[in-house]
Homo-oligomer: A and B are copies of this chain.
């Protein structure tokens, strides 16, 4: 509402004149930013700038209160047009226009090559093409859930229309009637290496219409037409695409005629000065060149700091306890805990997302009780991952129940982008490991840690039984961050203390920094995780019958394994790890690395999934893979034998 809102039928003369002046000032900054950084994307920034000025100028958001609840949001899906976003925001009062000139593509600055959330006005960092619409759908859905009346605008490039994820996002928006969402296409008909038609011919309008959207085509440099179209879109009965026909590098004829040349290349200083003259903008390039040679400003002091916008539940409810009489599978315990959480959410809005697996992941229990907080999106995991991330940063407690292979491996890059955006996704994946059994190798999710551990924020939790599943689910609900709860498919025995009572019950409280010491012994530490605990316990019991008592440790929070636990694990000098994961990038390797970090000399024998397994009952597959009780016990015996061998030779 800096220039107005979308209530009046037409732009006023004064608003039109203001936008024209801003068009010049921002184009000058776009050119200067990219020339100063000797890199970046001026072409698409100059084709997008006119409609982006209308969006930020008339959206319901306020530079003086940039993180206001219920604000409208503008998602820049073609993140490489960041100079346009920075220039528009700066000249509309969000921050000093000097900042992006000083900071664009400079190490340590938030004015990155692709937009990111440390810049006020930018609510979702992008750069991977084709994902922005999913984030916008998430913000639009969040507004609907909260009933705050917020509108969402998504600016997109034409090249990225080639990404399939857009179709997933389009259909989702239509299913949920998100008419508070308007998508805008920067249709300059040119992408990195040529025209759209040369690269991949596509009927963009037909694609959008096929998925149920309305399409309004306009001249994207006519701000009056943009205003009218966006206003109409906000009043339409279905989500609407405003397809803005634009010209790459619009405003500087010698750039315009070069087609795709200036998509991703900066003008030389001389050419930049020439362009500034053509625009009728002052030439202060040399001044900024000098300024950039000085030490950088304190970026974060110069910009308002984003408050915490993610949410946790006020209560985790009352844990359920499963006993040997009342057995379950981990996913069932998750489903029951999630249902409980719905009842104690205390007004914190929840969204449970599903891709046509609710009965398998057990989110059907929640869905039945809280149908308004359950969102069925069909088989569309790339979209759903981003949706979950955007919902979470918009203040929704977002859970996604999914199979491991599709929630992690298939959507890995989306989960990484969520992490870059400091999201708060609660990902509950079932059917992981070869415990999935009969579904076979395409479904054997044995890389959830290798992938997610390649990010900096995701935590991976593998509960050791239904009771621990219940506790971890509740912990996730009340702690911020991206958390993956990793479960198998099989029925799962309750882990017991030696006295026969449930281990993960009563006073037990989940703490990611504490591994679970189920049995104490000597000689070897047998370390297992998740699906493998019952099999490791089988091995332990068999060994105990032979009079051999070793340590048995279960690790639920792989990422958080503490120094103290590592010292405990290393205490006998011999470790056997057992995981339903590829040990090359799993728990065993992680423990080996951490032991080395700490200078703890224990040797580790790693058992895990070491080839693409066939399809069959889980117990059969564990036996074939050398991961059942007898195989684990044999590995422990070998470790004990090798140890005495070493000790003899020492």
Contact = CB atoms under 8 A, between A and B. Distances in A.
A80 B405 CA distance: 15
Contacts of A80: 439
Interface string A415-445: 0110110000000000000000011111100
B358 A128 contact: no
A206 B114 CA distance: 34
B406 A112 contact: no
A377 B200 contact: yes
B409 A413 contact: yes
A129 interface: yes
Contacts of A130: 379
A620 interface: yes
Contacts of A584: 453-454, 593
Contact of A107 (B79, B111, B405, B614): B614
Interface stretch (A88-96, A160-168, A268-276): A160-168
Contacts of A417: 442
A562 to B, nearest CB: 16
A5 B441 CA distance: 34
A442 B127 contact: yes
B113 A160 contact: no
A106 B106 CA distance: 57
B621 A454 contact: no
A483 interface: no
B356 A191 contact: yes
Given A163-B380, A451-B451, A441 B112 contact: yes
A212 interface: yes
A597 to B, nearest CB: 8
Nearest to A443: B127
B128 A442 contact: yes
A71 interface: no
A365 to B, nearest CB: 14
A378 to B, nearest CB: 3
Nearest to A447: B454
Contacts of A439: 80, 113-114, 127
B379 A162 contact: yes
Interface in A598-619: 599, 601, 603-604, 606, 610-612, 614-617
A121 interface: no
When all copies of this chain in the complex are counted, the total is 2
A207 interface: yes
Contacts of A160: 379
Contacts of A447: 416, 451, 454-455
A360 B604 CA distance: 43
A405 B125 CA distance: 15
A65 interface: no
Q: Which of A381, A383, A405, A438 is packed against the most chain B CB atoms within 10 Å?
A: A438
A623 B107 CA distance: 9
B193 A357 contact: yes
Nearest to A609: B456
A582 B200 CA distance: 35
A47 interface: no
Contacts of A175: 200-201
Contact of A202 (B159, B211, B620): B211
Nearest to A201: B175
A438 B36 CA distance: 12
**Which of A110, A113, A159, A624 neighbours the largest number of chain B CB atoms within 10 Å of its CB?**
A113
Contacts of A167: 164, 166-167, 207
A413 B410 contact: yes
7 contacts: A105-B617, A113-B438, A127-B440, A199-B356, A412-B451, A446-B454, A599-B603
Q: Nearest 8 CB-CB pairs, A to B?
A: A127-B442, A164-B164, A107-B616, A200-B378, A107-B620, A447-B454, A450-B454, A112-B615
Given A107-B623, A109-B615, 8 more contacts: A105-B615, A105-B617, A107-B620, A108-B624, A110-B614, A172-B200, A209-B210, A409-B413
